[in-house]
Amino acid sequence: MTILECSSGNAGIACAAAAVKDYACIIVMPEMMSAERKLMIHAYGAELVTIPGGESDVDVALKRMKEMAASAPERYWVPGEFENLDNVDTHYTTSGPEVWEQLEGNVDAVIAAVGTGGWLTGVGRFLKEKNPALKIYGVEPTESPLISGGLCCGHGIAGIGGGLIPNILDLSLLDGIITSSTEEALRMARRASREEGLFYGISSGFNLAAALKFARPCPETGRIVTIFGDSGQRYFSTPLCHDEAEMEAALQNVVEGDRDAMLRKFRKTWDIID
């Protein structure tokens, strides 16, 4: 049995590490993801299948992965990070309680990138049960406001805004959406390194930028929780560590049909922070 997964990096690297148990692994990802991610996946012995595109094209990679799985169902086992409820349950039973215990129940808001929806939904659901007054905001790229604006375009934040709305994301938990740009994410990640000695990646800077954007006009909010989920060591070849780098051409897609109708319903109740 071969593990087959679509990933922009982190989950793919984790799956590739299953080589220690003698599992073969194939990871499907957009070709413009960072070189470090690809090298780590190869280092574990996994096969990498790339499709044209960048950070906003994970939906295309996901389609390709599903085609491969359907072509030989007896060959592949698919974790399915965007659809597997174990993703949510794991964060509900581990990450959520960890946050609650370490902060002794003093949590007023959770601000985090949507990603697969697993962390945001699992942690958000647990904390909301503990404190119904808790505010939960998802974060998406300013350049690609798929959930808050119905538009998917190119951007530079790996693992975020992949051109799809994850099935495991519970939109009913959200109090609103915050958008942050690639430039804001880069600036905050660099500041964290130089001012705090914390060398995190672009998506961590993205979360930090959004949390500060929420906190500045709401000093009474109290404790705000976000997550730094990537290391800067996976970004040496990216604009995080270079003044100039080629960025993907902006591809634009519009959400239509049932998905658009569903999002419009939720947008009426959300606070959208740009």
Same domain membership, residue 63 and residue 122: no
Instruction: Name the pTM for this structure.
Output: 0.86
Domain that holds residue 154: 87-273
The domain boundary residue, chosen from 77, 97, 123: 77
Of 246 and 235, the structure prediction assigns the larger pLDDT to 235
Any domain includes 215 = yes
Tell me: pLDDT of 249 over 60. no
Looking at 25, 54, 77, the residue that finishes a domain is: 77
In a domain, 243, yes or no: yes
Give the confidence band of 254 by pLDDT, cuts at 50, 70, 90: low
Q: What is the CATH number of the domain that holds 41?
A: 3.40.50.1100
Helices then strands, counting H and E runs in the chain, come out as 10, 11
Residues 115, 221: one domain?
yes
Residue ending a domain, among 13, 43, 77, is 77
| Residue 214 and residue 119 share a domain | yes
Q: Which residues make beta-bridge pairs with 135?
A: 109
Q: 86 in helix, strand or coil?
A: helix
- pLDDT tens digits, one per residue of 179-236: 999 999 999 999 999 999 999 999 999 999 999 999 998 878 889 999 998 899 988 9
Distances from the Cα of 195 to the Cα of 181, 188, 198, 212, 216, angstroms: 21, 10, 8, 15, 19
Helix (H) or strand (E) holding 258: helix 257-267
Examine residue 105 and state whether it is found in any structural domain, yes or no: yes
Q: Is residue 235 situated within a structural domain?
A: yes
Residue 131, CA distances (Å) to 1, 72, 125, 170, 224 in order: 43, 46, 10, 17, 13
Give residues with Cβ within 8 angstroms of 149, minimum separation 6. Answer: none
For residues 237 and 36, is the Cβ–Cβ distance under 8 A?
yes
Q: What six digits make up the tokens of 233?
A: 């060591």
Whether residue 82 lies inside any domain: the answer is no
Question: Lowest-confidence range among 1-10, 112-121, 156-165?
Answer: 156-165
Encoded tokens for 65: 């992965």
Instruction: State the Rg of the chain over Cα.
Output: 18
Eight-class DSSP state of 200:
B
For 3-42, how does the pLDDT look when each residue is reduced to its tens digit (9 = 90+)? 999 998 889 999 999 999 999 999 999 988 889 999 999 9
φ, ψ for residue 150, nearest 5 deg = 75, 20
Q: Whose CA is closest to 36, among 233, 204, 200, 186?
A: 233
In-domain check, residue 242: yes
Cα three-residue angle 88-15-96, rounded to 5 degrees:
25
Total structural domains in the chain? 2
Both 51 and 107 in one domain: the answer is: no
Are 127 and 180 part of one and the same domain? yes
Assess whether 186 and 250 both reside in one domain.
Answer: yes
Quick one: tokens of 221? 């909010």
Where b means 16+ CB within 10 Å and e means fewer, 87-123 reads bbeebbeebbeebbeeeeeebbbbbbbbbbbbbbbbb
